[in-house]
Structure 1
Amino acid sequence: MGAATAFFLRQRGRSVILLERFLVGQQASGVNFGNVRRQGRFLGQLPLANRSRRIWGKIAELTGSDVEFLPVGHVRFAWHKEQVGVIEEYARHARQLGLDLEIIGRNSLRERFPFAGGLAVAGSYSPNDGHANPRLATPAFARAATRDGATVVENCEVLSLEKVGDDFQAETPQGLFSAPCALISNGAWGGRLAAAFGEAVPITPGGPQMGVTEPAPYFIRPVVGVSTSIPDEVIYLRQIPRGNVIFGGVRRGPVSLEVGRSKFDPANLAPQFLQLVRLVPALRHLRIIRTWSGVEGYMSDDLPIMGASGKVSGLYYAFGFCGAGFQLGPGVGDVMAELIDTGSTTTPISDFTIARFVQAREQ
């Protein structure tokens, strides 16, 4: 979010300083699954997701880098009959918001997606979604922002942020940085800085549980997920052209914000693998060669914080994307740059205002 905002602010001619706690893309932005999906989101988020998808389509041109974005489609399988009505209703509403989804019945699923195990009762297919490499995307925006004149300072933790007169001052181990506007976009740590400005929010850190298999012949083209109300059935996977299958889901691991790391819990691997072979039986023959985790921030209502501060002029937020921010990143950057530069945005983001928590406490 921060790197994309820096890039789009430079496109608008604004001077920018991007302060990175570690390296660009080292935290959640670089260790996530890499899903560029729109379906399954909160419906009010679709205008933002659609704006972001348009940027993904020209990301190589904008940044000058190949981030391995592949619009190969995204399919969600439903295991239970009662879920069919859920995906059908979602598709009806999504169509009104610019996202066309195809509902596929049981008999057509195996024909369309021969890798599937045949247990799903229906599926929802979004043909223009896909995946990208999270290790490449954020650094690409940061390099492009630097190319265009932004200042990017890595290994520069913000120890404190306060407004002094008309400017914000960020204290860091590398000195004091000042600017008339400030964007807090530091993921799971965002709640701490927001609280310092009197805008505490209910954010909880969590660690996604990720893994990757040895390479196999390329046979799973779309990104694959599940539509379910049962948390232990939540699984997702994608195969990259060189053959490895990347996967995640089922449970989250513990996180230490002080250490800034999250570990993969080996106890999660068995339930993950059960769900993986439920989706794609052929995966039972592959070795898992690496597992990892990261640090993500989850809001109590599963919606991010995005927009202007309700208390301090010139202060903005973009954090707490609840493990679903990778696809949104370019769009968030574009919207936040528009908001900071003009005072408004053409994409609705009122559902994500930090003021919703202040209002809830006052009621």
Structure 2
Amino acid sequence: MNVIVLGGGLMGTASAYFLARRGLKVTLVERNRVGSGATVASFGNIRRSGRYLPQLPLAHRSLSLWRKAEAMLGQDVEFRPTGHLRLVFGKNGLASMRSFIDAARPWGLVLDEMEMREVRARFPGIGPDAIGASFSPGDGSGNPRLIAPAFAAAARSLGTEIVEQVEVGSITKTASGFEVETSRGSIGGEVLLNTAGAWGAQIAAAFGEPVPIEARGPQMGVTEPLPHRIMPVVGVWGGDGIEGYFRQVERGNIVFGGGVERTQVALDPGHAKADPASLPRQLLVLLPLLPALAKVSVIRTWSGCEGYVADGLPVMGPSATTPGLFHAFGFSGHGFQLGPGVGDVMAELIAKGRTETPLHDFRIERFAETSC
């Protein structure tokens, strides 16, 4: 079976790798460079807390692959299971946290509720005005700049053809599968996997499957190095007016995001830029999480084009209109943790016609159903 994968971010490269590992012939097509879109814009958060509950089986599957990533891919992608600490600053956040802890337990996720004296003892300097927190010890972070190229290199070593820096024109359903016209010629395959991120809805719409999606860019930044003392990824249970998230890398830099609106991004050309005017406001919002940010220099900011589906859930699974077409796009800013699992699930679904991981809530036909 020949599979064409459209989109070379984390979802596409992971899918290509797992498809090739199952013995399928794969051609991956990317308009820019592998991993240069939404993946590289990611914060690098590998978290399960706060997720849509039916997404947890996919998140668990993905976490097991993150744990194997270095051995599986032959290089360190900087997965660090340092834990995920989520702070509470008021009664709304406290109620949200406790509700999620109870609801997530039957889904196989056990979170520890921490009192602030324990947080201060274990993680000094973090959230001095917080009133509580949850901690997920199995979660952590990875390097967004390394993971997609690592999957691409591993897929290439298994025989995958990776075609970068090409424009995709028409996509035609043929008697034998699909024909994709590119600026370097035509590519044919029996199966087409749409992992085109914010552009994925355009491909779906061409086959009669419209998806309500917006392209937006997160506002990310990194500081100068500080003494390394913060191990977990840190976020917030929302509802009390305090937002944002950060983590400290081993070199000491603080990587941060959130707290300000994502920028609008035009899909053509699809270049997302950080808004420098938002940086002072963003740092001010983040100070309750880490007061030390008031005394450090920001050395770089960036953004990237992400696709946000109207209901906040991704599109995953087979096409409802076209045999041989599959979708995995629109992860709405929370796809980094899921990436390896998405690739494994889509490869299983394409190769076997089924998957053990539930995808019902992510089916593309949900939009046609709501419009009836």
Shorter-chain TM-score tier: over 0.9
Q: CA offset at residue 283 of structure 1?
A: 1.9
> 2:7 is matched with which residue?
none
> 1:130 is matched with which residue?
140
Are 1:24 and 2:43 matched, yes or no? no
Are 1:316 and 2:351 matched, yes or no? no
Are 1:112 and 2:122 matched, yes or no? yes
The answer to whether the 8 Å contact 1:210/1:246 transfers is: yes
The answer to whether the 8 Å contact 2:306/2:332 transfers is: yes
Are 1:66 and 2:107 matched, yes or no? no
Select the residue among 349, 355, 361 that pairs with 1:345.
355
Q: Residues 198-237 of structure 1: matches in 2 within 5 Å?
A: 198-229=208-239, 233-237=242-246
What secondary structure is seen at the aligned counterpart in 2 of 1:278? coil
Q: Following the alignment from structure 1 to structure 2, what is the Cα–Cα distance between the partners of residues 31 and 263?
A: 10
Are 1:242 and 2:248 matched, yes or no? no
> Deviations for 1:304-363, whole angstroms, at most 9, x for unmatched residues?
00000001000000000000001100000000000000111000011100000011112x
Q: CA offset at residue 259 of structure 1?
A: 1.5
> 1:176 is matched with which residue?
186
Q: Following the alignment from structure 1 to structure 2, what is the Cα–Cα distance between the partners of residues 122 and 169?
A: 55
What secondary structure is seen at the aligned counterpart in 1 of 2:14? helix
Q: Residues 284-295 of structure 1: matches in 2 within 5 Å?
A: 284-295=294-305
Gaps of 5+ in 2: 1-10
Q: CA offset at residue 104 of structure 1?
A: 1.1
> 1:96 is matched with which residue?
106
Are 1:149 and 2:159 matched, yes or no? yes
What secondary structure is seen at the aligned counterpart in 2 of 1:212? strand
Q: CA offset at residue 275 of structure 1?
A: 2.2
Select the residue among 276, 296, 304 that pairs with 2:314.
304
Q: Following the alignment from structure 1 to structure 2, what is the Cα–Cα distance between the partners of residues 173 and 234?
A: 43
Are 1:166 and 2:176 matched, yes or no? yes
Q: CA offset at residue 159 of structure 1?
A: 1.7
Q: Following the alignment from structure 1 to structure 2, what is the Cα–Cα distance between the partners of residues 160 and 10?
A: 25
The amino acid of 1:24's aligned partner reads V
Q: Following the alignment from structure 1 to structure 2, what is the Cα–Cα distance between the partners of residues 227 and 108?
A: 18
- RMSD, aligned CA: 1.1
The answer to whether the 8 Å contact 1:81/1:121 transfers is: no
Q: Following the alignment from structure 2 to structure 1, what is the Cα–Cα distance between the partners of residues 262 and 46?
A: 20
Q: CA offset at residue 112 of structure 1?
A: 2.4
> Deviations for 1:124-143, whole angstroms, at most 9, x for unmatched residues?
11001011110000000000
Q: Following the alignment from structure 1 to structure 2, what is the Cα–Cα distance between the partners of residues 98 and 144?
A: 31
Q: Following the alignment from structure 1 to structure 2, what is the Cα–Cα distance between the partners of residues 237 and 134?
A: 14
The answer to whether the 8 Å contact 2:225/2:251 transfers is: yes
Gaps of 5+ in 1: none
Q: Following the alignment from structure 2 to structure 1, what is the Cα–Cα distance between the partners of residues 47 and 89?
A: 20
Aligned residue pairs: how many? 361
The amino acid of 2:139's aligned partner reads D
The amino acid of 2:165's aligned partner reads N
> Deviations for 1:142-192, whole angstroms, at most 9, x for unmatched residues?
000000111111112322212111210111101100101000111101111
